[in-house]
Chains A and B, each alone.
Chain A
């Protein structure tokens, strides 16, 4: 018998991903296609991840030129790369020990990059000051979040630590909480009101946890994932007041702040908090997260993210620093990606024209995509979609017929996983089932990434429409 039969109960308690069944099937289908097995499609459209490059979007030229020059400084010698690329690479290499992206950096990140990130934050927030000492660059925003949760979740206390999180929430966060020995207290966003966060629902969720756990933090995602809502200032103020009143640490996941499509503007929790003035602005403890994985950059594979800490007890922050030292540092290329994200080419710079073209193209593509998705989905029987105001995904609701629900139960699957599996097998589209993220009992959804080239989206919608109509017919 294996020594490891007995493992951490925290790990055992982490719920298995729905995705694994779909991933296995995907692998088989890809193998079949490679071997020439005939299928109703030539390739799979995989939109199950918030991964623009995987979906076919191109990296930004300026970013990749700078990275290449940093990796292989020989490229700085001839004049093939634009002068601003070379200048930026030189500057970045100056900040690296031994002028190499292969060295470790200081724990929180390369100091010059931290400085520039803090300046970006301050500019973004209309001048609200930001101190590099409060920023930690990590191997992705989820890694940073797990570290902060590590400090919040006390696995040994008499009462399990509870963290309020949206009921529809991407799995890595809920897995982190469970893996650390904490428990998720779900709050439901209001689908009919465009996935709005209503403070009464936060209250209900908190009350439901009474006596069952010790709620210590409130996790919000803005813009949302999977639901693409963008919070209004007023809603954010309510959340802040709620966190203050109920003594909750606020965790604000803002990685999609670069993905805004409608009229609403993104405003950061830090800014809203600052503008609410004392005593709230001086007391509410906040950690905000951002990343180079989303937005125009889409550099998920480089693993560059950061957390900014606001109003933390300095004694606690010292321990947080110690915790981060054990990770050594974030990958240098990820740190550089953050630097480029927060300090892109400016008008007048040689690379600006192309940079602007590329980002405008991405923006207009996604705006087009959002419109097309909502039109297509809302035009189908048994399918409805709230407006996508921001984020990387559409999260439409499927109104599954009773027969389909029963069939799913018979084969031991969640109904929307069943739908997704059939969608994959018959139409070659891989989306994620709503049950992966959590949803109101009796409702079903699918999530797919819309940060993809427009022609890919059109093909996706074509296949989805065809599949869905057939599915609804078969199970009516």
Chain B
């Protein structure tokens, strides 16, 4: 090995990592550390003989020891900090339990219920018939001659195929997305926002909303030391944000939502977080999820205006994650898009505040997570920066075309008078009202349990109740190196088969504990689940009293 070649096999990489610089406090860890006692689904124990990559040193022909090129010391250190609790250790354990059940092992439960992930179809929600008909027609256009499909579905399919290269869903699209779909998205946004204009050039189709969010963060994270980009995110938050910030080596700036006030957002808290962060980083963006995940709160219009004013005053790029925009249940709550409010505040704001809003085909009444469809709308972005964004997006070529086609249908659903309209409306209404019922049911049942306090589920798809964990349990958890709510959730999983995500995966005020549970299972099943949770909590509290 040539002596002049640098070989960074030492811990040097790790030392260079901390970018919050200036000795300031680094981001508070939000997620629970990897649990020693649970083994990942990609179980090391399942190393077969084919797995030749055992971490022993191998002697090469000339007798020198053979360490690997890519080790935990040489790998990109920021990747080591990436955690995504929604698919984390507890889920991996749930998958193992499923496997064990299917192999006939006896358990205190008949099935594992994955109430950890916002996957509506997995829990039995039915897709919208019209959407699937059009997509089937697009996939296999021979079906256009089949009479089981209504005329409007056929027309729609033809329109979509005409906008695809070679009239096929299998051709790449432009990396910004199919132009006619972007135009349809723009018109949808205009209708939704009471006529506020939308330029299709500002619309970017994405691979789920996550792709858009991560791309924007990639674009704006820069700087060194005390000048390193800081991004404000709510606590609790959807852990894609913390994972992306960790991977990019950005500084995570936490602002706490107010649990006592139904998870509302206080501007004073935003200001506090920002002022403190300015001491050790360069805050440049503010992320807000509305309706919220995991908390489900729907921000009032006043609050949205206040946030916009704050972003304008402090010169922050606003990222509005609005994927749950149709999932609003509580009386008196209404979805207000950031874009609409921004424009209604007049040119002083609408011409200067830089905003990206995100939407997706995964939630709302569609629940089509597996299509990875989404879009983002970018307001007031500099042309030069847009060119850079385009460059960045081109690396992943294009978003899945079926997802783009689906998004086109979502923003352009059947209209009154069209053959599929009645069915579409009844399916959509049924799904959304079922969700509203389940949101209420969840809040009600959980609040009857001593030691569980659940805020109203105003929107989205989750409850995020606060749980009281006895001191004894906290101690035992700490002894085994687990966050107390992970300890609680793991026990619940093992005893009831119910898989939830501990609050530590989303972030919470120190000394408080929560779990996130979806409201997605069918009503009857949900009732049973909630009762089991209640029973478990009582048992657990007693056991550790």
Q: List the interface of chain A (C-beta within 8 A of B).
A: 2-12, 14, 16-17, 20, 23, 46, 49, 51-59, 61, 64-65, 67-69, 71-72, 74-75, 78, 80, 96-98, 100-108, 129-131, 133-134, 139-140, 142-143, 146, 150-159, 171-172, 175-176, 179, 210-211, 214, 216-217, 247-249, 279, 281-283, 285, 297-303, 310-323, 325-334
Contact = CB atoms under 8 A, between A and B. Distances in A.
Contacts of B55: 313-315
A20 B7 CA distance: 38
B207 A311 contact: no
Interface string B48-70: 11111111001111000010111
A275 to B, nearest CB: 14
A249 B70 CA distance: 7
Contact of A142 (B51, B164, B370, B396): B396
Contact of A103 (B1, B61, B119, B133): B119
B135 A71 contact: yes
B356 to A, nearest CB: 10
Given A101-B370, A158-B6, A300-B172, A172 B382 contact: no
Nearest to A2: B382
17 contacts: A2-B385, A3-B354, A4-B219, A7-B220, A71-B136, A100-B121, A106-B41, A152-B70, A154-B74, A154-B76, A247-B69, A283-B52, A301-B401, A303-B399, A303-B401, A321-B40, A331-B402
Nearest to A246: B1
Contact of B140 (A20, A67, A159): A67
Interface string B22-51: 000000000000000000111110111111
Contacts of A8: 218-222
Interface stretch (B78-86, B253-261, B273-281, B431-439): B78-86
A313 B169 contact: no
B246 to A, nearest CB: 10
Nearest to A173: B395
Contacts of B19: 156
Nearest to B222: A8
B483 to A, nearest CB: 17
A75 B136 CA distance: 9
B403 A331 contact: yes
A71 B52 contact: no
Contacts of A129: 48-50
Given A2-B385, A3-B354, A154-B75, A14 B8 contact: no
B451 to A, nearest CB: 31
Nearest to B128: A102
B351 to A, nearest CB: 12
Interface residues of B, number: 129
A321 B76 contact: no
Interface of B: 1-2, 4-8, 12-13, 16-17, 19, 40-44, 46-55, 58-61, 66, 68-72, 74-80, 82-84, 86-88, 95, 114, 117, 119-125, 127, 132-133, 135-137, 139-140, 143, 146, 148, 164-166, 168-174, 207-208, 210, 214, 218-223, 240, 243-244, 247, 249, 284-285, 315-317, 354, 366-372, 380-382, 384-385, 387-388, 390-392, 394-403
A143 B165 CA distance: 21
Contact of B316 (A3, A7, A80, A325): A3
A216 B71 CA distance: 12
Given A2-B381, A102-B121, A319-B75, A11 B51 contact: no
Contacts of B84: 322, 325-326
Contacts of A55: 166
Contacts of B43: 133
B76 A150 contact: yes
Residue picked from B12, B13, B169, most chain A C-beta under 10 Å: B169
Top 5 A-B residue pairs of the complex, sorted by shortest distance between their CB atoms: A301-B401, A54-B165, A97-B122, A72-B136, A332-B370
A131 B166 contact: no
A32 B459 CA distance: 48
A270 to B, nearest CB: 11
Given A301-B402, A331-B400, A159 B391 contact: no
B76 A54 contact: no
B370 A301 contact: no
B140 A65 contact: yes
B170 A301 contact: yes
Given A2-B381, A157-B13, A282 B397 contact: no
Contact of B79 (A105, A151, A332): A151
A68 B136 CA distance: 4
A152 B76 contact: yes
B223 A6 contact: yes
B102 to A, nearest CB: 11
A64 B70 contact: no
Contact of A104 (B66, B119, B170): B119
B244 A326 contact: yes
A301 B40 contact: no
Contacts of B119: 97-98, 103-104
Contacts of B397: 140, 142, 172, 300, 303
Contacts of A216: 69-70, 74
Contacts of B390: 20
Contacts of A300: 170-172, 397
A54 B382 contact: no
B408 to A, nearest CB: 14
Contacts of B123: 98
A26 to B, nearest CB: 10
A11 B217 CA distance: 11
B30 to A, nearest CB: 14
Contacts of A298: 170
Contacts of B120: 102
Contacts of A158: 6, 8, 12, 16
Nearest to B117: A104
Given A71-B139, A129-B49, A329-B370, A106 B385 contact: no
B240 A326 contact: yes
B213 to A, nearest CB: 11
A129 B47 CA distance: 12
Nearest to A131: B50
B219 A11 contact: yes
B79 A319 contact: yes
Nearest to B353: A3
Contacts of B49: 129
Contacts of B392: 11, 14, 179
B243 to A, nearest CB: 5
Contacts of B220: 4, 7-8
Contacts of A211: 4-5
A2 B398 CA distance: 27
A279 B75 contact: no
Residue picked from A49, A64, A151, most chain B C-beta under 10 Å: A64
Contacts of A151: 70, 75-76, 79
Nearest to B164: A301
A12 B222 CA distance: 11
Nearest to B361: A102
B70 A51 contact: no
Contact of A156 (B6, B78, B354): B78
A133 B72 contact: no
Contacts of B218: 8, 10-11, 179
